[in-house]
Amino acid sequence: MSKGVWNGLAAYALWGFFPIYWKLLHEVSALEVIGHRISWSFLLLIVVILLTRQWKNFRTAALSPKVVGIYFLAGVLLTINWLIYVWGVNSGFIVETSLGYFINPLISVLLGVLFLRERLRSMQWVAVALAAAGVLYLTLTYGRPPWIALSLAASFGTYGLVKKLAPLGSLYGLTLETALVFPMALIYLVFVGTTGTGAFLHQGVLIDILLIGTGAVTSIPLLMFASAARQIPLTMIGILQYIAPTLQFLIGVFLYHEPFDQSRFIGFSLVWLALIIFWVENYLATRAPIQPVPEMGKG
């Protein structure tokens, strides 16, 4: 396999094992975890830019009002997504968080229809309808909407939409996103640290190391993904992206023994069937030969 495929596999595998890492921090509030995740990611990314001597290029590309505005919105959406995910994992909803990333591609497609005037083919609408039926079924059997899954899918789908309109590459983009929300994260961390309500430097060396490590576990798979995206086809990325929620689902069910009864199986199966139809239809559509346009006066 090519280096790009290996990078893609590694990125999605690391994302798939995220629940285990966040579970190690279950005694720390989700808000504090996210504060550290933003802060240490930003510091690590700045170090990468400085070591690779890209600071001048980064500053030139990033510091314009329009670019800052786009990436501030992206940073807020990413923060919301991270917060919901960490809270969901540590509250015993790993299976539901995996559902969010299973339905995320379909949410992204709908956002493309609503905001970018993209058109869906008939079988793509069938896939979307099946996924909606699965969510509706889970809502009826849960007695509530799977709001964790829907919030994750909506926040990350909207983040993807914003990034589609954003001008910077992955490294510069993530650095600017974390830079713009870093002041808020730092203020919060200083507050909980000075009031004695924070975990950092108060709950042992292991917790401190894990909190500092949130920067690496966030940035490394993102940089791997950025490398993979430049080297392998988008269709391959489309296949690989399901590795992460599949691993998360298996971890939730088999490692942490979260409930997955018949009703959940039916709801998830509708979503999985929707994804299969969506992917197969997209694969066949992209491989279909382009029919030549008849010349004037012929046919």
Supply the range of the domain harboring residue 21: 3-286
Place of tokens 């689902």: 249
Give the count of domains, the chain: 1
User: Does the residue 106 lie in any domain?
Assistant: yes
- pTM summary value: 0.88
Token pair listed for 139: 């809502």
Reading the chain (299 residues) residue by residue, the pLDDT tens digits are 678 788 889 989 999 999 999 999 999 999 999 999 999 999 999 999 999 999 999 999 998 889 999 999 999 999 999 999 999 999 999 999 999 999 888 888 888 888 878 788 888 889 889 998 998 998 888 888 999 999 999 998 898 888 888 888 888 999 999 999 999 999 999 999 999 899 998 889 999 999 999 999 998 998 888 778 777 765 667 677 888 999 999 999 999 999 999 989 999 999 999 888 888 887 787 775 544 444 434 44
Token pair listed for 3: 């280096």
* Residue 80 identity (one-letter amino acid): I
User: Does the residue 293 lie in any domain?
Assistant: no
Choose among 5, 14, 15, 10: nearest CA to 228: 5
Report the distance separating Cα 246 and Cα 276, nearest Å. 14
Report the distance separating Cα 146 and Cα 136, nearest Å. 9
User: Does the residue 167 lie in any domain?
Assistant: yes
User: Does the residue 213 lie in any domain?
Assistant: yes
User: Does the residue 291 lie in any domain?
Assistant: no
Which residues, at least 6 apart from 115, have a Cβ–Cβ distance to it below 8 Å?
161
Q: Give the Å distances, CA to CA, from 211 to 40, 148, 194.
A: 8, 23, 17
User: Does the residue 294 lie in any domain?
Assistant: no
Q: Is 52 helix (H, G, I), strand (E, B) or coil?
A: coil
